[in-house]
């Protein structure tokens, strides 16, 4: 392969986290996002953005906008958009969602003989089960119709980062998979197996059980990624007491059980108790943050609690801490406003997960063709 990089298109690019995860062996030929804040963040972090980044609606793009033939098309499409079974017209070119705009481009590239060898679609795990599995089957049908074999992996970022963030990665390939990349593995979860078992026979014939090994054991925890106590703004005592008042007895007991200094993550959630909707604060002390979300309201922003010698302090998770929980380097330039920075981080893909997937599966899939091209 020499020094020749692989090439890729990145759709719904956000702040470019898939690009960072793919790394130096991959050259970005094209990137796109609709969100102005994410687009500005992408430009701030990639000096070459002006040559390949397009801000705007994916539906307004055509094959002429995509240079050459990329090895990979990566799509972290908006999870709220992903309703394939409920909008089958989109598979025929309708304006059903952002995903269909992306898929329309892939089909058109295929018509020109320029379809990427690989497609990766990253989304929430609910993609596997929505509409009783019909959405996932419709996605598989779309992939198979364009000559791809496909399989899914459910990977929790907690394997590599101190954040609980399960996501599904559908990997589709026009490259015949070598035997060493096929077989059982730790990311074939119950949800993946159930989704595969529900596929009709003609789609099951296009299924591949991608073999992706588990990474080495994670050696860091949430506390290691936090800012020093003196560098962050803590809640006033009455704010902490309000947070604690939202905890059910089992979660208050977790606080009381801590000894020495303990760092926990807190999410506010709505639970149904005795037929009523009740807001609850739920704490974990397992060394992991909860799954980062986009801060569309106060309850969606994660909090930190520190228990030390019986005293409890609390505060909101800082933007730079959220970036670390996504595997972003300290040099990564976040938007100056905390809400915007948390939005970019919470809507992204965990960088080390992309790197592991590229290293152990995507690059080995493409390596034979790259070696032949280099000769």
195 φ, ψ (degrees, to nearest 5): -65, -40
Please write down the long-range contacts of 217-222, taking CB distance under 8 Å and 24 or more positions apart.
Answer: 218/158, 218/159, 218/160, 218/161, 218/162, 220/161, 220/162, 221/162, 221/287, 221/288, 222/162, 222/263, 222/265, 222/287, 222/288, 222/289, 222/325
Contact 42, 14 (CB under 8 A): yes
Contact 252, 241 (CB under 8 A): no
- How far apart, in whole angstroms, are the C-alpha atoms of residue 141 and residue 198? 13
Tell me, what DSSP letter sits at residue 284? E
Count how many Cα atoms sit within 13 Å of the Cα of residue 275 in the half-sphere of its side chain.
0
Q: Which of 44, 79, 246, 370 is catalytic?
A: 79
E-strand spans in the chain?
6-11, 26-33, 53-55, 72-75, 118-123, 149-156, 166-173, 261-273, 276-284, 303-308, 311-316
In the beta sheet, which residues pair with residue 19?
none
- How far apart, in whole angstroms, are the C-alpha atoms of residue 67 and residue 60? 16
Asked if 291 is an active-site residue, the reply is: no
The helix (run of H) or strand (run of E) holding residue 57 is none
Nearest CA-CA partner of 202 in 120, 154, 140, 157:
140
Q: In what order do the strands lie in the sheet with 53-55?
A: 53-55, 26-33, 6-11, 72-75, 118-123, 166-173, 149-156
State both tokens at 351. Answer: 């960088």
State both tokens at 324. Answer: 């670390």
DSSP for 59-94 reads GG--GGGS-S--SEEEE---GGG--SGGGGGGGGT-
The residues annotated as belonging to the active site are 79
């Amino acid at each position: 392969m020499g020094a020749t990089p692989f090439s890729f298109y990145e759709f719904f690019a956000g702040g470019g986290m898939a690009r960072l995860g793919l790394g130096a062996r991959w050259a970005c030929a094209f990137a796109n996002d609709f969100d102005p804040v994410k687009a500005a963040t992408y430009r701030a972090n990639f000096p070459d953005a002006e040559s390949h980044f397009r801000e705007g609606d994916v539906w307004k793009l055509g094959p002429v906008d995509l240079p050459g033939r990329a090895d990979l098309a990566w799509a972290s499409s908006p999870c709220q958009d992903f309703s394939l079974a409920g909008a089958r017209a989109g598979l025929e070119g309708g304006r059903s969602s952002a995903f269909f705009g992306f898929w329309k481009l892939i089909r058109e590239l295929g018509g020109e003989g320029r379809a990427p060898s690989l497609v990766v679609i990253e989304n929430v795990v609910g993609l596997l089960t929505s509409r009783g599995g019909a959405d996932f089957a419709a996605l598989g049908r779309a992939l198979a119709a364009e000559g791809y074999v496909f399989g899914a992996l459910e990977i929790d970022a907690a394997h590599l980062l101190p954040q609980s963030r399960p996501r599904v990665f559908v990997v589709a390939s026009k490259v015949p998979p070598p035997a060493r990349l096929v077989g059982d593995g730790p990311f074939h979860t119950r949800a993946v197996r159930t989704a595969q078992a529900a596929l009709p026979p003609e789609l099951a014939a296009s299924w591949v059980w991608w073999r992706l090994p588990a990474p080495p054991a994670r050696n860091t925890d949430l506390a290691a990624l936090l800012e020093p106590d003196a560098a962050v703004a803590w809640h006033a005592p009455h704010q902490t007491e309000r947070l604690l008042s939202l905890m059910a007895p089992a979660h208050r007991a977790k606080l009381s059980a801590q000894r020495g200094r303990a760092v926990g993550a807190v999410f506010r959630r709505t639970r149904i108790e005795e037929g009523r909707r009740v807001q609850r604060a739920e704490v974990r002390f397992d060394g992991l943050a909860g799954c980062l979300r986009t801060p569309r309201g106060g309850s969606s922003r994660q909090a930190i609690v520190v228990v030390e010698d019986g005293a409890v302090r609390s505060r909101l998770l800082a933007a730079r801490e959220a970036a670390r929980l996504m595997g972003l380097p300290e040099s990564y330039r976040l938007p100056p406003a905390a809400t915007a920075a948390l939005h970019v981080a919470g809507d992204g893909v965990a960088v080390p997960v992309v790197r592991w997937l590229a290293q152990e599966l995507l690059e080995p899939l493409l390596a034979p063709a790259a070696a032949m091209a280099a000769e």
